[in-house]
Amino acid sequence: MKLIITIISAACISLTAITAAEPTVGTTLPNLNGLLPGAALPKTAGRVVLVDFWASWCAPCKASFPTMSRLQAKYASKGLVVIGIGVDENAKDYQTFAAKNKVGFTIAHDSKQQAAAFFNPPTMPSSYLVDRSGKIRHIHKGFKGAKTEAEYTKEIEELLAQ
Amino acid sequence: MPTQQPLTMKPFFHLLAAAMIFSLSSCSQQLVRVRPFERGNLAHPLMSGDRDTLLLAMTSHAYFSREASFGGGGVGGGGCGCN
């Protein structure tokens, strides 16, 4: 009996520890190629990276796409990389959505939700702005139109200047 | 006559019980909670309560008529049941 209780306690404590290890401001961006096997991702070393989590069923995510495309077009030459990670459980939903909505930045399907489970985005969409040294500097929860775009622009310009 | 456990075991069990309550309460939240990126099925239009306006209107009318004595769907009072 004691053994069973001890095993259950240990399992729960370790589970809590695993799920609590999500990235926050100041932590280093993990290797996305490892989390998204098979995805063709651009080089991120020495660049400012905007990692955005979206899903086909998420209306604000769709609303954020033109902003992401604009940011990519405006700042790509200065060293910005925008990566949109689609977290749809159903691959067909992702493919249909990606085919309908052409975007001006890299998108990748997190088919096994490994990246989503690691980042544990607090809302949909959520985005992580990473500086040239690979550290997460800003986390955006949700998308509020022009207000969020203005915040992105200010933060990206600051990070690109560093 | 019932045999008693040695007193030295009690703190151990108390400690285990406390650890279990603490850990289970925190891990159950992680297990049960549907995380934001897992809400694809919940966000499906079929999950909406008012996806069929005609059905909603009919259901509301039936509910209002049946529950008129309690004020139907939001009206305080009532009582005649004649809706």
CATH of the domain at A66: 3.40.30.10
Q: What is the pLDDT of residue A5?
A: 61
Length of chain A: 162
DSSP strands (E only) in A3-160? 48-54, 80-86, 106-109, 126-130, 136-141
Q: Is the pLDDT of residue A3 over 90?
A: no
- Domain-located, residue A3: no
The tens digit of pLDDT for each residue in A103-146 reads: 899 999 998 899 999 999 999 999 999 999 999 999 999 999 99
Inter-chain residue contact B30 with A15, CB threshold 8 Å? yes
Interface test with A, best of B20, B37, B41 (most A CBs within 10 A): B37
- Domain-located, residue A119: yes
Q: What is the pLDDT of residue B3?
A: 56
Average pLDDT estimate for B39-47: 87
- Domain-located, residue A17: no
Domain limits for position A123: 24-161
What's the whole-model pTM score?
0.71
Percent of chain A at pLDDT exceeding 90: 65
What amino acid occupies position B50?
A: D
The tens digit of pLDDT for each residue in B63-74 reads: 888 887 776 666
Q: What is the pLDDT of residue A159?
A: 94
pLDDT band at B48, cuts 50/70/90?
confident
Q: What's the CA gap between B11 and B60, in Å, rounded?
A: 58
- Domain-located, residue A4: no
Q: What is the pLDDT of residue A14?
A: 56
- Domain-located, residue A138: yes
Count how many domains chain A has.
Answer: 1
Quick check: A121 contacting B, CB < 8 Å? yes
Q: What's the CA gap between A156 and A48, in Å, rounded?
A: 7
Quick check: A12 contacting B, CB < 8 Å? yes
Q: Is the dihedral of CA A153, A127, A14, A30 positive or negative?
A: negative
Quick check: B16 contacting A, CB < 8 Å? yes
- Domain-located, residue A79: yes
- Domain-located, residue A9: no
Q: Collect all residues of chain A within an 8 Å Cβ-Cβ radius of residue B6.
A: none
- Domain-located, residue A105: yes
Interface test with B, best of A19, A51, A62 (most B CBs within 10 A): A19
Q: Collect all residues of chain B within an 8 Å Cβ-Cβ radius of residue A126.
A: 36
Percent of chain A at pLDDT exceeding 70: 87
DSSP string, A107-137: EEE-TT-HHHHHH--SSSSEEEEE-TTSBEE
More confident residue, B32 or B46: B46
Q: Is the pLDDT of residue A72 over 90?
A: yes
Using an 8 Å Cβ cutoff, are A89 and A113 in contact? yes
Chain B stretch 40-69, residues whose beta carbon is closer than 8 A to a beta carbon of chain A: 40, 43-44
Using an 8 Å Cβ cutoff, are A121 and B37 in contact? yes
Q: Is the pLDDT of residue A16 over 60?
A: no
Say how many CA atoms lie within 13 Å of A117 toward its Cβ.
13
Question: Which are the contacts of B44, defined by CB distance < 8 A and separation ≥ 6?
Answer: A57
